Amino acid sequence: MINSQETAASHLAAALAEIRARFINDLIPLINEMEYQRVAMTDPALAPEAFSSLQHASHKISGMAGSVGFPELGDHAARLDVTFTKLLRAPYDHAGVQAALDPLEAFLSLMEDILDEVL
């Protein structure tokens, strides 16, 4: 019984390590995409697509980050998810876009810090 519990625990630990590695790997293209959309979202013509992409990326991160050891990143992503959902639903709001730039910048820095630390 104890052996089977130990086996299950080691399988889970191995799976979590693999999932964490895949998550970190996925951060690299996400940073590039979000950097690009950060610039695009200040242009009213490109903003809807940029908001959608930024919302998708932050939603994807918010759902996983906490489970693979990055709770701060997950919380930050969840807040951005809400921000971009609101921006996406409303007509283009210059003040709202400006207010989102700093948190987005901080988020991108946090992602880069994580990559610096683990890679």
Partner 1 sequence: MKILAVDDEPLVLRLLDATLNGLGYHNTSFATTAAQALHLLESSKSPYSCILLDIRMPGMDGIELCQQIRRMPAYKTTPIIMLTSLAEKEYIDESFASGATDYMNKPVDATELAARLRVARLIQNEYQRSAHLEELNRAQIEGFQPMAPFDFAEPVQIDDVSRVVNSRAMENYLRQLDRLGLFKIGVIGFQIRHAGSLHAANAPEEFYGILADVAESISENTREVNALIAYLGKGSFAAVVPRASQIDRRDLEAGIAATLYEFELADLVDSTSDIKVSVGTQINGSVFGNTPDKMIDLAVRSAQGMTESKPKALAARIWSLAG
d(CA 107, CA 79): 10
d(CA 64, CA 67): 5
Under rule CB under 8 A, residue 33 binds partner 1: no
CA nearest 107: which of 50, 40, 30? Answer: 30
Q: What is the DSSP letter of 68?
A: G
- Among 17-25, 38-46, 89-97, 111-119, the segment contacting partner 1 (CB under 8 A): 17-25
- Among 4-12, 36-44, 90-98, 105-113, the segment contacting partner 1 (CB under 8 A): 4-12
Write out the residues near partner 1 by the rule CB under 8 A.
Answer: 8-9, 11-12, 15-16, 18-19, 22-23, 26, 59-60, 62-68, 71, 74, 78, 81-82
